[in-house]
A and B are shown apart, each in its own frame.
Chain A
Amino acid sequence: MSIDWIELIIVVVKALIVAFGLLIGFAYLTWFERRLVGRFQMRIGPNRVGPAGLLQPVADALKMFFKEDFVPGQADKPLFIMAPGIAMSAVLISFAVVPVGPSIRLFGREITLYLADVNVGMLVVIAVLSLGVYGIILGGWASNNKYSLLGGLRGAAQVISYELPYGLSLVGVFMLAGSLSLKDIVEAQARVPFIVLQPLAAIVFFFAAVAEANRSPFDLVEAENELVAGYHTEYSSIKFALYFMAEYISMIVASALMVTLFLGGWQGPFLPGIVWFFIKLVFMLFVFVWIRATWPRIRYDRLMAWSWKLLVPLSVANILVTAGALVLRDMGVF
């Protein structure tokens, strides 16, 4: 079997664009969030470094690199160093199957605006995203700090509570699209975005995605008024930054999934697909920040109860109702 070298180079370039794009996305998401939260709290937010504070992320990144990077004395050294890398890699990889737009022609070649289109696309995303919690658990355990350990344990309990509604809420979408591939799901929404047909699934998925990204109001793993900084209490320098990046990039991934699965992905009138994708993405990110700025943190046992006793039955009911409606429709009742 011969290798198509040009194809391989295209794939490598696309992988680098995805990875660095997400990094830049992360940097400007912190700026976006700080400015917005500033406005929500009647402040201005960072506006000193560069015009409108636009160079603030660059300054932060430089500062992070030159901070002292130390491993606490009693920590488990290899795990302590690896853990932030695991958290970061997992969220970066999960973006591989998200389609940003339809294919474009460049230099006479058909270039698809997604890295991979596999027939089990969404399963890959769920599998890889849930690996990210290993970063939190291992980091919390390796630090040998009580706050970190509690944060890590909470991370574990939270992920196992939220994975279920996260996975179950999507079954309705898969039934409508008849596929797990994200590209097929977007194409199935050519007429109606799935948020219209699956509003309950969209709501359940969004809450589960917020919890998956460990964002406020479900940011119990780092609840600063109980656990100092939770699982990353002992982390400094770029290792701390990697955890921070993992959290923000998983917010971007969650928004991209919302857009792809429920808001019709790149589809929209007049503008090119990729522009629509980014408009919807920024809107979802705004919703994330909005929730953070307005909702108080939910109590720990409430979160578990809410997930197990409300979201799981709701999403199963949604599956049954969708199935019933589809059967009636295919039999020609309506």
Chain B
Amino acid sequence: MVPADFLPILVLIIVAVGMSAIAIALSALLGPHKSTPTKLMPYESGMVPVGDARLRFSIRFFVVAILFILFDVEAIFFYPWAVYFRRLGLFALIQIVVFVGILFVGYFYAWRKGALEWE
């Protein structure tokens, strides 16, 4: 059961997905279909493609992704805190200073270890 507040979002999801699906279906029906072997080759600036595109990629992406997950989970803690901040006052301020302190120990550790360098 969808809560009443979220029902309009569900309706818009249906509309948006339906619209994209209809657009894709329409163009498949309307356009010409004359495929040739050369047309189906991957585009590599007019050269015959060398090898496959399913390459291995840099481990850097993985490190940044892990850092992102760590920090994003911590960032989400800020949201409920921010909404209730005015009601909690000075106590909330002290709490968040401690929280940010711990967060930034990890942040500067990652920085010093070179996890943020892209080279």
Contacts and interface: CB of A to CB of B under 8 A. Distances in A.
Say whether A and B bind each other.
yes
Question: Interface on chain A toward B: helix, strand, loop, or mixed SS?
Answer: helix
Nearest to B61: A157
A191 interface: no
How large, as a class, is the contact surface on chain A?
A: 35 or more
A334 to B, nearest CB: 15
Interface string B74-114: 01101100111110011011001100100110010001000
B12 A238 contact: no
Contacts of A238: 23-24, 26-27
B68 A144 contact: no
Nearest to A20: B19
A67 interface: yes
Q: Is the interface of B mostly helix, strand, loop or mixed?
A: helix
Interface residues of B, number: 71
A161 B65 CA distance: 9
A233 interface: yes
A319 to B, nearest CB: 7
Given A143-B42, A178-B85, A326-B86, A69 B8 contact: no
Given A97-B9, A242-B20, A327-B89, 16 more contacts: A70-B35, A73-B40, A74-B40, A89-B13, A89-B17, A95-B12, A115-B8, A118-B6, A124-B9, A164-B75, A167-B72, A171-B82, A241-B23, A304-B64, A305-B118, A330-B86
The 3 A-B residue pairs with the shortest CB-CB distance, nearest first, are: A238-B27, A73-B40, A301-B118
